[in-house]
Amino acid sequence: MSDRQICDLRSAICNFPVTVIGGGLAGSEAVWQLARRGIPVRLYEMRPVRVTAAHHTDRLAELVCSNSFRSASLDTAVGLLKEEMRRLGSLVMQVADRTRVPAGSALAVDREQFASELTAAIVALPEVTLVREELSVLPDGLTIVATGPLTSPGLAQCLQQTFGQGYLYFYDAIAPIVTSESIDRSIVFSASRYGKGGEDYLNCPMTRDEYYRFVDAVLHAQTVPTKNFERCVYFEGCMPIEEMARRGPDTLSFGPMRPVGLLDPRTGQRPYAVVQLRQDDHEATLYNMVGFQTKMTYPEQRRVLRMIPGLEHAEFVRLGSLHRNTFINSPRLLLPTLQLRARQHTFVAGQLIGVEGYVESAAAGLLAAINVARVLRDQEGVVPPATTALGSLVQYITDPRRHDFQPMNANYGLFPTIATRERGRDKRRVLAARAARDLQAWIAEHGIDAGTPDLSEVVRAGSGS
């Protein structure tokens, strides 16, 4: 950090208290983490004064769609992330566990009870001042911006001016990602078009019959309905594959599935069509399907995309989507501590940084708050090890070498590889055990205060009973 930046940071810190903008999953978690460290917080939540197109209540941490926090099992990275959050004293996890409803292996909650209990817990905290107001400028003092995928237009405009054009996005066009080990290398071949760029892409070759069968399946697959507020004119660069297929059966073979410049080494011939896979992480454990953004439902994506030769057993760590979503170009703008590189007294958290999902958003709020508290104590910012669910996710989204950034959820594909003979579920258990060990060591090394006061005590104290 330059002397100038240190100076700016110190003067920002003097502007007490900390401001958190947005009382959703990330903002609420951040507020709790700060307050339980004795730090006064002013929380700006614009509802009900200003509404969003998805929220229906004035409660904090309202779940806008599903009531599920997804899998509770450590076999999944989101299950592991939840466990890590519990160890870090997460409010969201504590309330979710208290308001749980039966949902098989998933952690689902009674949404009304969840938001009500969480709101009561925050409002009861003496350190917290809740201001029901839209904030459309960035305050000068220490701030966490957690305004989510439906950030108000006023603040979005301010962020755009602060970061510059092209650093704030309003739609995501997510192509599915598969794990490297689930790709059938006896079918898929490495090559770049016309040999330019070495063997950078993996190519799934298709015959004429395979191509038209695939297009037919795409055309008949169920898709997610587009909500009114999501309606947009598709840009050519982010058109879903089913929309392209609707323009004519050959459109895809002239678009993302064009085979030009590629020869299948098994036949020495140009395939009729090709699906290209591009390396998505530095360790080459993940590959994204180039140009394959889609609004097919998740079960349909798994069924239809496994028709692609070489992907019959594909393990999807992220499925495709295309929807309204405000998020920043984190690889360019954010440090892994979740501070803006160019404005280090401003932290950003939640879906706005390009993580996907309730749990991931809350986890980002938790980390941002830990680091705000450390700044206030003159300590260096910290990031959990890359071998943990939170650390691997944060490092993925803030990796400055990343181009074409799109939001990401927690998944084991982001973890550094491990030398082990285990595969599938057994391997994931080894990764989870390593994560638990490394997180514990990290907590101890940095003296992270992971204790959680009993929630019912907090609520009772606040209500004066």
Ligand X SMILES: Cc1cc2nc3c(=O)[nH]c(=O)nc-3n(C[C@H](O)[C@H](O)[C@H](O)COP(=O)(O)OP(=O)(O)OC[C@H]3O[C@@H](n4cnc5c(N)ncnc54)[C@H](O)[C@@H]3O)c2cc1C
H-helix or E-strand spanning residue 372: helix 358-376
H-helix or E-strand spanning residue 3: helix 3-14
- Please identify which residue in 12, 18, 20, 23 interacts with ligand X, judged by CB under 6 A: 23
Instruction: For residue 358, state whether it binds ligand X (rule: CB under 6 A).
Output: yes
Instruction: For residue 26, state whether it binds ligand X (rule: CB under 6 A).
Output: yes
- List the one residue out of 274, 164, 172, 173 whose CA is nearest residue 214: 274
Instruction: For residue 95, state whether it binds ligand X (rule: CB under 6 A).
Output: no
Q: CB of 338: closest distance to ligand X in angstroms?
A: 12
Could you tell me if 198 and 22 are in contact, meaning their C-beta atoms sit under 8 angstroms apart? no
Of the candidate spans 88-96, 162-170, 291-299, 351-359, the one that interacts with ligand X by CB under 6 A turns out to be: 351-359
- Please identify which residue in 31, 41, 44, 262 interacts with ligand X, judged by CB under 6 A: 44
Cα torsion angle, 376, 378, 383, 384, sign: negative
Beta strands 177-179 and 100-101, pairing class = unpaired
Cα torsion angle, 272, 275, 277, 278, sign: positive
In the bound state with ligand X, the residue whose beta carbon lies nearer, of 47 and 318, is: 47
Of the candidate spans 39-47, 184-192, 382-390, 434-442, the one that interacts with ligand X by CB under 6 A turns out to be: 39-47
In the bound state with ligand X, the residue whose beta carbon lies nearer, of 365 and 384, is: 365
Could you tell me if 452 and 94 are in contact, meaning their C-beta atoms sit under 8 angstroms apart? yes
Q: How far apart are CA 438 and CA 142, in angstroms?
A: 29
Residues of this chain, 55-84, that bind ligand X according to CB under 6 A = 55, 64-66
Instruction: For residue 45, state whether it binds ligand X (rule: CB under 6 A).
Output: yes
Residues of this chain, 117-156, that bind ligand X according to CB under 6 A = 134-136, 146-152, 155
H-helix or E-strand spanning residue 179: strand 177-179
Q: CB of 140: closest distance to ligand X in angstroms?
A: 16
Instruction: For residue 22, state whether it binds ligand X (rule: CB under 6 A).
Output: yes
SS3 content of the chain, % helix, strand, coil (to 5): 40, 15, 45
Give me the phi and psi of 32, to 5 degrees please: -60, -45
Of the candidate spans 121-129, 176-184, 356-364, 375-383, the one that interacts with ligand X by CB under 6 A turns out to be: 356-364
Instruction: For residue 271, state whether it binds ligand X (rule: CB under 6 A).
Output: no
Instruction: For residue 160, state whether it binds ligand X (rule: CB under 6 A).
Output: no
- Count of all residues that appear for the chain in the document: 465
Q: How far apart are CA 208 and CA 238, in angstroms?
A: 25
In the bound state with ligand X, the residue whose beta carbon lies nearer, of 224 and 436, is: 224
Q: How far apart are CA 80 and CA 84, in angstroms?
A: 6
- Please identify which residue in 18, 21, 173, 370 interacts with ligand X, judged by CB under 6 A: 21
Residues of this chain, 374-413, that bind ligand X according to CB under 6 A = none
- Please identify which residue in 54, 120, 290, 376 interacts with ligand X, judged by CB under 6 A: 54
Instruction: For residue 47, state whether it binds ligand X (rule: CB under 6 A).
Output: yes
- Please identify which residue in 291, 350, 354, 413 interacts with ligand X, judged by CB under 6 A: 350
Q: Report the residue number whose CB is nearest to ligand X.
A: 24
Q: CB of 96: closest distance to ligand X in angstroms?
A: 12
In sequence order, the 6+-apart residues with CB closer than 8 A to the CB of 3 are none
Largest Cα–Cα distance of the chain, in whole Å?
Answer: 79
In the bound state with ligand X, the residue whose beta carbon lies nearer, of 54 and 187, is: 54
Q: CB of 62: closest distance to ligand X in angstroms?
A: 7
Q: How far apart are CA 190 and CA 266, in angstroms?
A: 12
In the bound state with ligand X, the residue whose beta carbon lies nearer, of 23 and 320, is: 23
Strand (E) positions, 193-266? Answer: 201-206
Q: How far apart are CA 407 and CA 324, in angstroms?
A: 12
Note the residues at the interface with ligand X (CB under 6 A).
21-27, 44-47, 52, 54-55, 64-66, 134-136, 146-152, 155, 350-352, 357-358, 361
